[in-house]
Structures are given as C-alpha cells and as structure tokens.
C-alpha cells in the first residue's frame, strides 16, 4: 500500500529554523471526496513566508500547529479526480502541504491549472513562472507603478523573487541596483543578470551612501524583501513621491520577538513616499498575464532562470533551513523523489 510521507512541525522555530523543528511521518494516501481531487506533488516551492507560520502565531495565515503538516506551495499532477474541471494528468499549482500526496478542491488557495509547454521544466512553475516571478511582476507593476527610465533598487536581489525583480525592471527600461549578502552574489548579478550595480550589505558600512553613489538622483522604486536596517537606509535614498514595494521583511523572520527598529519613517512624510504591502493571492486574477509575459521573456533568453534544487522529500527541512540562513541563490525548491514510479 502506498504511503504518504509528510513533513510535520515538531517544535516551534526560534531564530533560524533547525532541521529538528521538523519530523517526517507516514500516513495512508488520502482518498478524494466529492468535488475533490488527489495530486501527486512533484516540486515544493521553498519560500521565506513559510517561516512566519512556524512560531505558533497568526500572521496572514493561521500558524501551523505542532504536529501539523507544514503548509507550502507545490506543483503536482492530478492522479485521481472527483472534480470535472480537473482531469487525471493535469498539472496544478496550489498552496498544499509538504507531503507526497495532497487533496485539493476548487477552493484550495492559489490553485491554478498549469499549461506547461513541452520544453518548459515543471520546476519553473514554482519559481520564475510561479509565485516568485509573478510576485516580482505584480509588485513592480501594480504596487511600484514601474516606468521606463526609473531607478529601481531591490534587496535579497540574488533570491528567487529579487533576481526576477531586477531582470523584469531591466526589461522595462529601468536602471537596476541589487542589494545582496556576498561579493559572489553581487558579481553574479552584474555579470550574469544584467544589473547595473550591486551592493554587498555585509561589507558596506553605509548602504545609503553606497546607493546614492550609484544613483545620485535617488531611487524611484525600492522593492523591499528584507525590511530592517536595509529598509531604514533605503528610506534616505528615495526620490520625492517614490514608492516602496513591501514584499517581505526576511531580516525579521528569524527574530519575530525582536524585530529590527525602523527610525527613518519621517522620510515617508518629508519625501511623500508610498509604502505598500501586498500578497500575491490578492492579485490572483493578474497572474495569468504575468506568467505569459514572463514565459515569453524566459524562452527568448531575455530573463535567466536561477534555481537551487534539493532532491527528495526527506531533505525538505534541511533545504528550508539553508534558505532561511541566506546561503542560497535563486529559487529554492525540492524535487520530490517518486518511489512508486521506480
């Protein structure tokens, strides 16, 4: 009988999550009820947002209970269906759980039936064509109101979302500066991803001055993935009526009890800034158009894909902890092993 391997929350995370915050259990493969369908998960999308659900406190989703299966986005194949809209063989993206098999229905959050092209790796649908890419696209357009000729700065710029933000902004005719945590990442952004400049925050003593040196007229759009001291420094670089796209604040995710203080908010008034937070699911109806544009750019080679793939469901906790320690570049994902097909 097939088993469903599931990664559960063994203990609440404090600080950088550790592999012993997680356990793996085996349960029977569930049977879909009326209107439901069963998917075989193929890829997990590892995302910093998941960190926010591991402490037992509600944020925009309920926390994951101790012993509960960890929630996370996945791409999978429908293998059994009681829903006429989802046939066996369909490929779907959804907010599922870290497990081999998930039950979905029409109301599953972020559910989307994918139309993968033959030559498009499925993994791209959790990264550049999935939440990371579409978050970057929607954030720049809907929240950032991006226009050609603007100066765009993005933090966590070598990450899944940040690397897409910078490349999309370049396609829109902007000047792009990335903020990253190592010289190697900075070099990669400029050499391989077409960024106009990059700053290593770990060796830079004055982020504000470093940005202003590369953008003397100031910054139109700051796409913020990190919050904390970098956001604080960026507030001093913004042009009048500039926009800060608040996508994430990863610098605080490992220290939610003691978040980094922000002291430069007066600039929001003095420079007439707009700081706006957003979550992708609010803009779900714009995802297909974003995906179509991203697919065109990627297949034509204008935007490069950067992935960090870990294989095997059992390695999911270690891969997630690696992501949250800032060591990865590009989209972190897990490619599931499929013992039933071997």
Interface ranges with a copy of itself (CB under 8 A): 52, 59-60, 227, 231, 240-241, 246-249, 252, 256, 259-279, 282
Q: What is the token pair recorded at 187?
A: 């070099």
We find the least distance from the C-beta atom of residue 52 to a copy of itself, in angstroms, to be: 8
Q: Alpha-carbon distance 331 to 72, whole Å?
A: 14
We find the least distance from the C-beta atom of residue 155 to a copy of itself, in angstroms, to be: 13
Judged by CB, which is closer to a copy of itself: 265, or 292?
265
Judged by CB, which is closer to a copy of itself: 232, or 335?
232
Judged by CB, which is closer to a copy of itself: 39, or 50?
50
**C-alpha distances out from residue 13 to 247, 253, 270, 290, 325, Å:** 22, 10, 39, 34, 13
Phi, psi (rounded to 5 degrees) for 222 = -110, 115
The packing angle between helices 131-138 and 160-171, to 10°, is: 50
Furthest CA-CA distance within the chain: 65
Judged by CB, which is closer to a copy of itself: 65, or 281?
281
We find the least distance from the C-beta atom of residue 54 to a copy of itself, in angstroms, to be: 15
We find the least distance from the C-beta atom of residue 59 to a copy of itself, in angstroms, to be: 5
**Are 98 and 6 spatial neighbours (Cβ–Cβ below 8 Å)?**
yes
Q: What is the token pair recorded at 191?
A: 């050499």
Q: Alpha-carbon distance 251 to 247, whole Å?
A: 12
Judged by CB, which is closer to a copy of itself: 248, or 326?
248
We find the least distance from the C-beta atom of residue 49 to a copy of itself, in angstroms, to be: 9
């Amino acid at each position: 009988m097939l088993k469903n391997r599931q990664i559960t929350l063994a203990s609440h995370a404090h600080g950088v999550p550790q592999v012993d915050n997680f356990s793996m259990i085996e349960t029977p493969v569930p049977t879909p009820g009326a209107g439901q369908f069963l998917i075989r998960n193929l890829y997990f999308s590892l995302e910093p947002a998941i960190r926010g659900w591991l402490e037992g406190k509600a944020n925009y989703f309920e926390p994951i209970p101790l012993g509960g299966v960890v929630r996370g986005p996945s791409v999978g194949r429908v293998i059994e269906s009681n829903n006429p809209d989802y046939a066996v063989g369909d490929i779907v993206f959804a907010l599922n759980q870290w497990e081999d098999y998930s039950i979905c229905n029409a109301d599953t959050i972020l559910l989307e039936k994918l139309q993968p092209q033959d030559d498009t790796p499925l993994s791209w649908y959790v990264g550049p064509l999935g939440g990371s890419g579409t978050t970057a696209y929607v954030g720049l357009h809907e929240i950032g109101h991006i226009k050609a000729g603007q100066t765009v700065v993005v933090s966590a710029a070598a990450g899944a979302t940040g690397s897409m933000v910078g490349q999309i902004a370049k396609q829109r005719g902007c000047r792009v500066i990335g903020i990253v945590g190592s010289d190697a990442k900075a070099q990669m952004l400029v050499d391989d991803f077409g960024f106009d400049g990059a700053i290593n925050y770990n060796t830079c003593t004055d982020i504000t001055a470093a940005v202003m040196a590369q953008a003397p007229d100031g910054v139109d759009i700051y796409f913020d993935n990190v919050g904390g001291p970098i956001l604080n420094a960026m507030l001093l670089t913004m042009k009048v009526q500039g926009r800060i796209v608040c996508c994430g604040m990863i610098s605080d995710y490992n220290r939610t009890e003691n978040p980094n203080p922000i002291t430069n908010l007066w600039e929001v008034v003095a420079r007439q800034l707009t700081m706006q937070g957003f979550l992708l699911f609010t803009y779900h109806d714009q995802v297909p158009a974003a995906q179509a544009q991203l697919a065109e750019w990627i297949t034509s080679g204008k935007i490069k894909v950067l992935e960090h793939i870990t294989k095997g469901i059992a390695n999911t906790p270690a891969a997630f902890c690696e992501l949250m320690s800032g060591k990865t570049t590009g989209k972190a994902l897990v490619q599931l092993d499929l013992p039933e097909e071997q």
